[in-house]
Amino acid sequence: MTHSTILTSLRNIRLLTLMALLSWVPGVHSLAADEQFNIVVLFADDLGYGDLGCYGHPSIRTPHLDRMATEGLRFTDFYSAAEVCTPIRAALLTGRYPIRSGMCETSGARRVLFPNSKGGLPPSEITLAESLRASGYATMHIGKWHLGIHDGSRPLDQGFDSSLGLPYSNDMDARPGLPTGSTKSATPPADGWNVPLLRDGKVIEQPADQATLTKRYTEEAVRFIRAKKSGPFFLYLAHTMPHVPLFASPQFKGQSRRGIFGDAVEELDWSTGEILSALRAAGLAEKTLVLFTSDNGPWLTQGAQGGSAGLLRDGKGSTWEGGMRVPGIVWMPGHVRPGVTSQPASALDLFPTAMALAGASSPAGVTLDGRDLAPLLFDGKSLPSRPFFYYRGDQVFACRLGEWKAHFRTQTGYGQPKPELHDPPLLFHLPHDPSERFNLAAENPAALAEIISAVERHRAVVIPGDPQLK
């Protein structure tokens, strides 16, 4: 890179920052009480904390997400609510820890739903889509579902007017005789998996052409935005990538310095740019809250086909920071104040925040585990400290309160048969030690005692739902 190119890049970054700051004016951010705002969730699969340019990746190019982060609010401490696919998707759409719905691993159960699983998201659970539709919203699901394929658990049963996507992970329904290690290959066989593509519950392609999925999802999302621009609407786009096996369209394949993983992420970045452009073109940018995040940390056992948690410890499947701290960017020009926040937040907060934007009340008689982020997003106010519980299956493995995190049990994402129990628990100061290397329990008994009390209070009131993953 030449000296002049570097200077030009720095000037462009300064210009984008200035434009973002100018787009937020005191007073403009106040939301009209009688207006309903659109909600868009862009949900990546197995994207790690360190896999975007705006989170420090040196070789994956993500200019659209970087711009979104500059124009919006980027979280340094944003969490999924589970360590693997199915539980976090249940948490995102219900605003509840997965144990409450039974959508998590229990003794003798699998960690996620499989094609032959008999369970699914219970019809009794009230999803965000159901709540928003009751408030007059058009609702659409695009992408990976992974919350059940039986009556009562499918997208159209759970509040979505329409749906296009895969019923579960793209590595399921592998064809017989698929060579071992195919998921880790830089060029996985295109016909190696028999996973179907469904529209409104009906198969329209099997096997799905996975190299086209990101592009087709994006085109479907843009069509939905244009068709429903009179609003209000809720769009839930749960990308298939960068979960292995990795695919990218011809436009992106082979273009990233990070290999096929980078190709897939750069296509997700393009997709985000297309969707934000569609919102701008429709005059909806200031009327739409967009959240970009990931379901869990990177799948480290996949080698070069897995992502990166940056300086965070471990990855997908674990309750170390690398397993559950993920990118989190919120965008709504003129309302969300641009910047970077270290305030902890999680996918659980989407439900109450969206309900506030819809001018609706949360479901009566339902315990939500998140809270409305509006004061932080729109007024830049600090939120009161609250505990965040790191579940692995139906067990609380760790808890964060303020800047401290205690581990009661630890277990790597994959490969460690049983968890290691800690008595006393391990204690880490996350701002000082985001890699969780220095146990400070002995020196900080008061902080540890406060976390232990929070966990005991939580356990005393949580009622587990009927297990769905057996």
Residue 177 backbone class (left: φ over 0; alpha: ψ -120 to 50; beta: rest): left
Are residues 37 and 31 in contact, defined by beta-carbon separation less than 8 angstroms?
Answer: yes
Instruction: Specify whether 54 is catalytic.
Output: no
Question: What per-residue confidence (pLDDT) applies to 32?
Answer: 64
Q: Which residues contact 316 (CB under 8 A, 6 or more apart)?
A: 46, 83, 84, 296, 297, 298, 299, 300, 306, 323, 413
> Three-state SS for 398?
strand
Residue ranges, CATH 3.30.1120.10, the chain:
388-461
User: Which alpha helices (H) appear in 52-210, and where do they start and end?
Assistant: 63-71, 85-94, 128-134
Of 173, 136, 132, the closest CA to residue 363 belongs to: 132
Q: Which CATH class is domain 35-384?
A: alpha beta
Question: What per-residue confidence (pLDDT) applies to 326?
Answer: 98
Q: Catalytic one among 57, 64, 141, 146?
A: 146
Enter the tokens of residue 462: 């949580």
- Mean pLDDT, consecutive 10-residue stretches, the chain (470 aa), reads 45 49 44 84 98 98 98 98 97 98 93 96 98 98 98 98 98 87 85 95 97 98 98 97 97 97 98 98 98 98 97 98 98 97 98 96 94 96 96 98 98 96 98 98 98 98 95
User: Which alpha helices (H) appear in 373-463, and where do they start and end?
Assistant: 374-379, 445-461
Of 196, 451, 413, the closest CA to residue 313 belongs to: 413
Cis peptide bond prior to 245, omega within 30° of 0:
yes
Are residues 233 and 221 in contact, defined by beta-carbon separation less than 8 angstroms?
Answer: no
Instruction: Specify whether 29 is catalytic.
Output: no
Q: How far apart are CA 214 and CA 188, in angstroms?
A: 17
Enter the tokens of residue 445: 């008994």
Q: How far apart are CA 302 and CA 306, in angstroms?
A: 5
Residue ranges, CATH 3.40.720.10, the chain:
35-384
Q: Catalytic one among 85, 239, 335, 407?
A: 85
Enter the tokens of residue 414: 């994959």
Place of tokens 């009794």: 124
Half-sphere exposure of residue 407: CA atoms within 13 angstroms, side-chain side:
23
Question: What per-residue confidence (pLDDT) applies to 37?
Answer: 97
User: Which alpha helices (H) appear in 121-238, and where do they start and end?
Assistant: 128-134, 213-227
Q: What is the CATH number of domain 388-461?
A: 3.30.1120.10
